[in-house]
Copies of this chain bind each other. A is one copy, B any other.
Amino acid sequence: MSQFNVVFMPQRLSVTVEEGTNLLDAQIKAGLIPDAPCGGKGTCGKCLVNVLKGGNETGVVKACQTLVTDDMEVDIINVPKGYHLLTTGIERQIDFLPLIKSFNISVEKCEMGDSRSDWKRLKKAVSEVSGIDEKDIPLNINLVKELNGLLKECNYIVNVVMYKNEILQIRKEDGPVYIMAFDIGTTSVVGYLLDGKNGKEIAVDSMLNPQSQYGADVIQRSNYSMENSVEPLTIAIRNAMKKLVENNCKKAKINPCDIYLVNIVGNTCMHHLFMGIVPSALVLAPYNPSVSEPVIDNVNSYDLGVNPNGKLQVLSNIAGFVGADTVGVLVATGFDRIDKLTLAIDIGTNGEMVLGNKQRAITCSTAAGPAFEGAKIECGMRGSAGAIDHLKVEGKRIVYSVIGDEKPIGICGSGLMDIVSIMLENGIVDESGRILDQDEMETDVAKENAFRIVPNGNNKHFVLATKEESGEGKAVYISQKDVREVQLAKGAMAAGIELMSKQLGIDISQIEQVMIAGAFGNYMSPHSACAIGLIPKELEKKIIPIGNAAGEGSKIASLNVEEFNRSVAMAEKIEFLELATDPDFQDTFVDQLEFPEY
């Protein structure tokens, strides 16, 4: 069966698929997270894309119903126009300044009386081609072992693979050079395979982080590693990454031995667990990282299944809960070159935020995430099949959509945000966060939906789906306690934004753009986020979802030596605001627990 190349715009994500694959599956294969609540049955109409080139039909089509019949270029239009910044990297035209290079050299043949070593003459040849000073080329003793025979066999013309000034490999002839860029998340790991000769992404794959067997979140995993050993967690993630290397290489039909560079981003805990560092510093006060410096190491000892002579790069951490993933976001957005006053938010398990521009930037971390990842919410769940992911008011009725077009079994982060915003805007919840009683309903929508309010001891429920309507025979509802959790999360985020603004000496209204990174940022409704006050209302129109910016940053830092260096500088320069010790935090937090008034 033939294979075709589909390029997704505006990210220019390229993926090779078999003939007859539909565009929804192609997006998934490309590592995108398309919105397809009906599960690709062609019924929900949410997976619309704009075919620009190729295919049987250009223009707007349902991705799940459109088959790949030739090379295609497709715009993912179900994200509001102008909001795309996943592609910042590409849009600001990252130069390809590769860290890994390969080139042929002609080594001077040794003559009788010439006492110079083979390595010395090799260095001279490398220096002549690359301009690198011989003195700056470190000795790689492993390469010397077979060097004399190799030089003779190749008649003194060989190919070298370099990482900056280091010779990583000496080959008989020029060959491919590949790079793997990883984004290690608490939930999932994404691995991008890049062509080191031109910087192009040639394959991508992701999988769930198998460390989940040792705990769902960073705290549980940290506790496990402190009580038992960090080793099983380290091995688990490295094995997963090895598998991603393998999968990507199979997809792209390349030899993993041609991968000479691995670049990694991840939150501090994922960073430490990958490196084999006991994360006690992170999870015990005062919550600082054990190491924040960028790691540049030989990849060999990490058992990732790539060329054993290759290099490993891990981006810097910033603080205990502001990790290399946030540095990845800084890289992807080119934060040190942004003029506009920018708020960047990466909502994962924690909500990491950066406020500022190229002159000055402040970062902080809040424990905002868990509620939006389904934890601590009575009917909470991840954004998978059966989750109510979006709600809206049609007439007076509250209607919901369910991922996979199934009967609802729970509610995910974006749904939670939507329902709380609906309840607020229609007077079902007041600004103090109290779910009103049935007899307090005043708006039409509130009255129409009063029946949903069911007292349950001292914990009111607002039922979205009765047990008859639900997929698992249990009602899906949002409880008074859940609303409190949302308040705590939004209060922390909003307080963080307020305190960073204060430290920067600006008014929130001066913020010119709000970049939301991460999958959740793509899913959530900006309106709802502002309606509940997670993000200040006045910023609603300035919100730009930028997709997996951390992963994008990982790729960029592996392709451009200057960007890597900038990442180090940004991580060093950025100011860290520890909310827990900010004298104003408690006050601000309590203030921000209140929802906006409607």
Q: Contact check, A148 vs B280: say whether CB atoms are below 8 A apart.
A: yes
**Which among A167-175, A292-300, A539-547, A588-596 touches the partner chain?**
A292-300
**Which among A436-444, A510-518, A574-582 touches the partner chain?**
A574-582
Q: Contact check, B292 vs A141: say whether CB atoms are below 8 A apart.
A: no
Q: Contact check, B144 vs A285: say whether CB atoms are below 8 A apart.
A: no
Q: Contact check, A578 vs B112: say whether CB atoms are below 8 A apart.
A: yes
Once A139-B291, A286-B110 are accepted as A-B contacts, the answer to whether A277 and B115 lie under 8 Å apart by CB is: no
Decide yes or no whether A145 CB sits under 8 A from chain B: yes
Instruction: State the 5 A-B residue pairs at the shortest beta-carbon distance, nearest first.
Output: A115-B319, A113-B578, A148-B281, A117-B292, A115-B576
Q: Contact check, A291 vs B118: say whether CB atoms are below 8 A apart.
A: yes
Once A141-B275, A145-B277, A146-B278 are accepted as A-B contacts, the answer to whether A293 and B112 lie under 8 Å apart by CB is: no
B-chain residues with CB within 8 Å of residue A330 when the two chains form the complex: none
| Residue with the greatest number of chain B CB neighbours at <10 A, chosen from A144, A287, A578 | A144
Once A148-B278, A275-B145, A286-B110 are accepted as A-B contacts, the answer to whether A119 and B291 lie under 8 Å apart by CB is: yes
Q: Contact check, B148 vs A290: say whether CB atoms are below 8 A apart.
A: yes
Nearest to A268 among chain B residues (CB) is B117
Binary flags per residue of A288-310, CB closer than 8 Å to B gives 1, else 0: 11111101010000000000000
Q: Please, how many angstroms separate the alpha-carbon atoms of A275 and B116 in the complex? A: 18
Q: Please, how many angstroms separate the alpha-carbon atoms of A259 and B146 in the complex? A: 30
Nearest to A226 among chain B residues (CB) is B149
| Residue with the greatest number of chain B CB neighbours at <10 A, chosen from A112, A117, A322 | A117
Q: Contact check, B141 vs A288: say whether CB atoms are below 8 A apart.
A: no
CB distance from A492 to the nearest CB of B (A): 16
If over half of A's interface residues share one DSSP class (helix, strand or loop), that class is named, otherwise mixed; here it is loop
B-chain residues with CB within 8 Å of residue A567 when the two chains form the complex: none
Q: Contact check, A119 vs B293: say whether CB atoms are below 8 A apart.
A: yes
Q: Contact check, B319 vs A139: say whether CB atoms are below 8 A apart.
A: no
Binary flags per residue of A140-165, CB closer than 8 Å to B gives 1, else 0: 01001111110010000000000000
Decide yes or no whether A99 CB sits under 8 A from chain B: no
8 A Cβ contacts from A78-125 to B = 110-120
Once A118-B288, A139-B291, A291-B119 are accepted as A-B contacts, the answer to whether A144 and B275 lie under 8 Å apart by CB is: yes
Nearest to A363 among chain B residues (CB) is B115
Q: Can you give 17 A-B contacts (C-beta < 8 A)?
A: A112-B578, A112-B580, A113-B286, A113-B576, A113-B580, A113-B581, A115-B292, A117-B281, A117-B289, A118-B290, A120-B291, A120-B293, A145-B275, A145-B277, A147-B277, A147-B281, A152-B280
B-chain residues with CB within 8 Å of residue A285 when the two chains form the complex: 112
Decide yes or no whether A318 CB sits under 8 A from chain B: yes
Listed in ascending order, the chain A residues whose CB lies under 8 Å from chain B are: 110-120, 139, 141, 144-149, 152, 230, 275-278, 280-281, 285-293, 295, 297, 317-320, 322, 576, 578, 580-582
| Residue with the greatest number of chain B CB neighbours at <10 A, chosen from A146, A297, A318 | A146
Q: Please, how many angstroms separate the alpha-carbon atoms of A491 and B290 in the complex? A: 66
Beyond contacts A113-B576, A113-B581, A118-B281: 5 other A-B pairs, Cβ-Cβ < 8 A, are A112-B578, A117-B288, A117-B289, A119-B293, A144-B277
Q: Please, how many angstroms separate the alpha-carbon atoms of A295 and B280 in the complex? A: 37
| Residue with the greatest number of chain B CB neighbours at <10 A, chosen from A116, A141, A277, A319 | A141
Q: Please, how many angstroms separate the alpha-carbon atoms of A110 and B285 in the complex? A: 9
